[in-house]
Amino acid sequence: MVRRIAVYVAAALLAGCSMTPAYHRPSMSMPGTFDGAIDTASLDSTVPVRSGWWRAYHDPALDALVAASLAHNYSLASAIAAVEQARGTAEKAGAAQYPSLGIGAAFDRAHQGGHGGSNTRSQSLFAEASYEIDFWGLNSATANSAAMLARASGFDRDTVALTLTASVVDTYFEVQSLQRRLVIARSIAHDAERVLQLLLAQQSAGVATELQVQQQRNALATFQAAVPSLQQQLEIAQHALAVLAGSAPEQFAVQEVDLNGIPIPQARPDLPSKLLDARPDIRAQEAQMQAANFDVGAARAAFLPNIVLTADGGWKSKSLSNFLASPFASLAASLAAPVFDGGALRGQLHAARGAAAKSVADYQQTVISALQDVEDSLTIARQQALTESSDRAAADAAAKAATLAEAQYRSGTVDFLTVLDAQRTRYQAEDTLVQARLARLQASVSLFRAFGGGVELTASSNPSS
């Protein structure tokens, strides 16, 4: 009997096949280059997109914040735990591909008759084993689907890490920008206060009018009102940065650095087709698509019969003295096939095929959205560079005009309204320039993120291969 079962097993293994459709990455029309990359600088002035891209800003404080966020951020910790959970699920799903073995022992005692009757005892030690021959690849398809979902979870984790690092860098630059804008606001308010004191002195001497004094009071109050608003934005941004770094916002502060001293690296554009392997969101979507393909194979295999081999053996005796003298063993093979299930299997197959089609569409949408993300980031980076250049020229001119207006007012060659207008223009120009610098820095961050960020937390090996 054992020989016969072995022959059946060998024949089944030799003839076994998979019902999973052959996987092919969906073909998409990918452009040869990005439109926004045509006017970019030479390769010598660009920075390759790789892990640790934030170090291109040469700011040790920023590097420390990013490192803290990767080590202590709770959202990333949750994503990492989700990967472990998915891997455990995949390990569980893969267990069906291997034989199961269990051992047990039993001790029985029975009494027959009334007082003085006989007692019987028996004890047994046994083992049971079973194995389902994966003739049609049902178990392997189920296991591979779970493995691909675990792989997708790993890429989801990388997406969280990429989003986190980009958010930390963005928020850090925002904090630096608000600190600089706050300095400008306090400085212009101080200058306005000084001009007001000058006007009050001139009014006492009969040179300045009450109208001029009230106009300057209005300007001073307007400049002073900007200070608490900027302070509020600064504190909120610092709170957000603390949470991103996994810290409580209390007592959290960022040392001010010169915003103009932070270099603006330009990410090196790669071929659009490289995004398919560079962006973790695309790779996660492809892994889900592969999992859905395996689910179709499992649903198709469920229609076909399966073979289960079982074996048990052990020792059983009525006395311990000859316990090992009474062995027993049995082998069996069973064949089961669905006959009527009310359409459950057919419905499962339809659902699996629908999910597979949906995953393909989701993948294609993710790819074209990534292409848009890169093009948008390239456009913003290019246009913000032009904007900052214009704003810098405007700020330089406004500063010179304000200085000239105040000097000429003291000499009596211009009226006070000219001074007041020059003050407001100077403040607005300097504040706008700082915001333009922030926009350029954040545009460069957006480019690193759009190109995939070089975050490599997930191994590139395919667990299903």
Q: Can you give the CATH number for the domain in which 63 is found?
A: 1.20.1600.10
Taking residue 80's Cβ as centre, other Cβ atoms within 10 Å add up to 16
Residue 173 lies in a domain: yes
Express each pLDDT in 393-439 by its tens digit.
Answer: 999 999 999 999 989 988 888 887 888 888 889 999 999 999 999 99
Q: How far apart are CA 19 and CA 143, in angstroms?
A: 14
Express each pLDDT in 290-305 by its tens digit.
Answer: 999 999 998 988 888 8
Residue 335 lies in a domain: no
Residue 159 lies in a domain: yes
Residue 269's domain comprises 14-99+133-306+346-450
Sign of the C-alpha dihedral, residues 374, 376, 382, 387?
negative
Residue 5 lies in a domain: no
Residue 295's nearest CA partner among 352, 360, 362 is: 352
β-bridge pairing 266-267 and 46-47: parallel
pLDDT tens for the chain, 465 residues: list them.
344 434 434 444 444 567 889 999 998 888 888 887 755 555 566 788 888 899 999 999 999 999 999 999 999 999 999 999 998 989 888 888 888 777 877 777 665 655 666 666 777 776 777 777 877 888 889 899 999 999 999 999 999 999 999 999 999 999 999 999 999 999 989 988 988 898 899 889 888 889 988 988 998 999 899 999 999 999 999 999 999 999 999 989 899 999 999 999 988 888 889 999 899 999 999 999 999 999 999 898 888 888 777 777 766 666 555 555 566 566 676 666 676 677 888 999 999 999 999 999 999 999 999 999 999 999 999 999 999 999 999 999 999 999 999 899 888 888 878 888 888 899 999 999 999 999 999 999 999 999 998 766 544 334 333
Q: How far apart are CA 95 and CA 74, in angstroms?
A: 32
> How many Cα neighbours within 13 Å face the side chain of 139?
18
Residue 50 lies in a domain: yes
* Cα-trace Rg, the chain: 37
Taking residue 375's Cβ as centre, other Cβ atoms within 10 Å add up to 17
Residue 146 lies in a domain: yes
Q: How far apart are CA 249 and CA 236, in angstroms?
A: 9
Q: How far apart are CA 51 and CA 36, in angstroms?
A: 23
Q: How far apart are CA 5 and CA 11, in angstroms?
A: 10
- The answer to whether 329 and 312 are in contact (CB under 8 A) is yes
> Which tokens is 290 given?
């592969």
**Count of domains in the chain?**
1
Residue 384 lies in a domain: yes
Residue 2 lies in a domain: no
210 to each of 175, 252, 457, how far by Cα in Å?
A: 40, 46, 68
Residue 210's nearest CA partner among 220, 229, 196 is: 196
Question: With the CA atoms of 146, 366, 241 and 52 taken in that order, what torsion angle do they form, in degrees rounded to the nearest 10?
Answer: 80
Decide: pTM greater than 0.85: no
How buried is 124 (Cβ within 10 angstroms: 0-12 exposed, 13-18 middle, 19+ buried)? middle
- Angle between helices 416-450 and 344-411 in degrees, nearest 10: 150
312 to each of 238, 322, 332, how far by Cα in Å?
A: 67, 20, 9
